[in-house]
Amino acid sequence: MKDTYDDINEYIADLQDAIEKSDGACAAHHYNLGLALLSKRDFVGAENAFRDALRESPHMAEAMVQLGGICLQRGDLDGCLRYNTDAAAFRPKFAIAESNIAFVHLQRREPDKALQHLAKALKWDPKFVQARNDEAIAYLMQGNYEQSEKSSRALIADEPSFAPAWQNLSLSLFEQGRFEEAKEAMEKAEELGFAVPEGYKQEVAEKFA
């Protein structure tokens, strides 16, 4: 195989050829094939490749996480949770798996459980942007608006162009009755490309009518 490729299809073909010619198929080849197929949004092909990677290396946590992501893409929260739970068990201190588990709990409106897993993810990767953002969301769900504000402001201090953090900040400020600040944060989120829900924009506008 070459060191670099300009054409993803050529890369996929070379991986498939290497797998076919290999006496003992390499889990890494199957995994990389899965990633390449994901980039083409071939979810069925990618799922098969990641499953093949696990057949060769049953404890490959990275493949489990990718399979969890495919489950999530098709709305299978149970499958996503199962794969990421297995990944966290097989690879200690795996922040991505813990964050993904937390995300499932957020989708189920279980912020207490989400925060337990986010605490682990952020212990092992304190700068993990998605986990930090989900932490702010979990506090919002709890009604702990001051802590949500604190989490969002800390994330914005490190990642000032991360639009979802500005929106979460706006929501926490709005719930605290700080409408002018909420409006400013919302407008910043929108300026940075966040699609602010029309219903929320209307709620904010009504405070200034």
- Domains in the chain, start-ordered, CATH in brackets? 127-209 (1.25.40.10)
Angle at 35 between CA 34 and CA 40, to 5 degrees: 95
Q: Does residue 3 carry a pLDDT above 70?
A: no
Distance CA 104, CA 121 (A): 14
Residue pair 7/38 in contact (Cβ under 8 Å)? The answer is no
pLDDT digits (tens, 9 = 90+) for 152-191: 999 999 999 999 999 999 999 999 999 999 999 999 999 9
Q: What is the pLDDT of residue 1?
A: 57
| Statement: the pTM of the whole predicted model exceeds 0.95 | no
